[in-house]
Structure 1
Amino acid sequence: MLYLSAAITVEIIATSLLKSSEGFTRLWPSLIVIIGYGCAFFFLSLTLRTIPVGVAYAIWSGAGIVLVTLIAWLVFGQRIDLPGLAGIGMIVAGVIILNLFSKTGGY
C-alpha cells in the first residue's frame, strides 16, 4: 500500500499542476507534471507486485478523482453540483467496498 499511496500522491500533484503549466508552455510546472506522472506510473508498477492491476487501478483512479476534485475546489474555486457530489460519493463507496469486501484485493 505504500507504493500505491506514493503513486496517488505524485499523480495528484502532477494533475493539480496541469492548469499551471498552461498547455506545457511554462517550464517548471510542465517539468513537475512530466516527472510526477513518470513517478506515479513507476510507483503504480511496483504496486502491481502485490495488488492485482484492476484493484490497484480502481483505488488509484478513484482516490485521484476525489482528491483532485477537492484540490480544484479549494485552490481553483471550482464548484461541484449535487449530481457531481453524488457521483464522487459513488466512487468513494466503490473503493471502500472493493477494499473491505472483495476477495480480489490480493493483499
Structure 2
Amino acid sequence: MSTTYYWLCLLASIVFEVAGTSVMKLSQETWPLLGMGCMYLLLGLSYFFLARAVVKLPVGVAYAFWEGLGLTLITIVSVTLLDERLDAMRLAALGMVLAGTLLVHHGTAHGRDDEEAEAASGGEGRI
C-alpha cells in the first residue's frame, strides 16, 4: 500500500480521537452512559487506525501528528461548541505545538534520507 493510505489512517485516527473526546464532554449532562459508550468506541477506532498508521509511518512522527493535530482540533471544538475562550497564550501554545510537530516530521524525513544516502554509498560517510 502507498504511504498515502497510512497518512489517511493517521488522519482517521485523529478524527476519531477528537470525536470521542468531544462526545465525552458534550454528553456529560444529557446522556452520560451513551456518551461514555460512544467515547470508548470512537477512542478504540482511533487506536485501531493509529496502529495501522505506524505500520509504515515512524512512530514518533505519527504520535507527534496525532497529539498536535488532535490538540488543535479539540481546542477548535471547545471554542466553537463549548464556548471556551481562546486567549493569546493558548493560541501561542497551539502554534508552538504545531511547529514542533512539523519539526519532528521534517527532522525524521531528513534523518531517513541521510541513512539511505549512507547505505547507498556503502557507509563511506562514517568516521
Is the shorter-chain TM-score for this pair beyond 0.5, marking a shared fold? yes
76-85 vs 95-104, which moves further? 95-104
Q: Return the offset for 1:87.
A: 0.5
- Higher Cα radius of gyration: 2
Q: Return the offset for 1:96.
A: 2.5
Q: Return the offset for 1:100.
A: 4.1
1:39 equivalenced with 2:59 (yes/no): no
Say if 1:41 and 1:19 are closer, same or farther in 2 by CA, change over 3 A.
same
What one-letter code is carried by the residue in structure 2 that aligns with 1:87?
Answer: A
CA RMSD of aligned residues (A): 2.0
1:58 equivalenced with 2:94 (yes/no): no
* Structure 2 spans left out of the alignment, 5+ residues: 1-6, 113-127
Q: What is the aligned length?
A: 105
> Contact conserved, 1:98 with 1:105, CA < 8 A, in 2?
no
SS of match in other structure, 1:49: coil
Q: RCO greater where, 1 or 2, for CA within 8 Å and sep 6 or more?
A: 1
> Contact conserved, 2:13 with 2:47, CA < 8 A, in 1?
yes
1:70 equivalenced with 2:51 (yes/no): no
SS of match in other structure, 1:103: helix
* Structure 1 spans left out of the alignment, 5+ residues: none
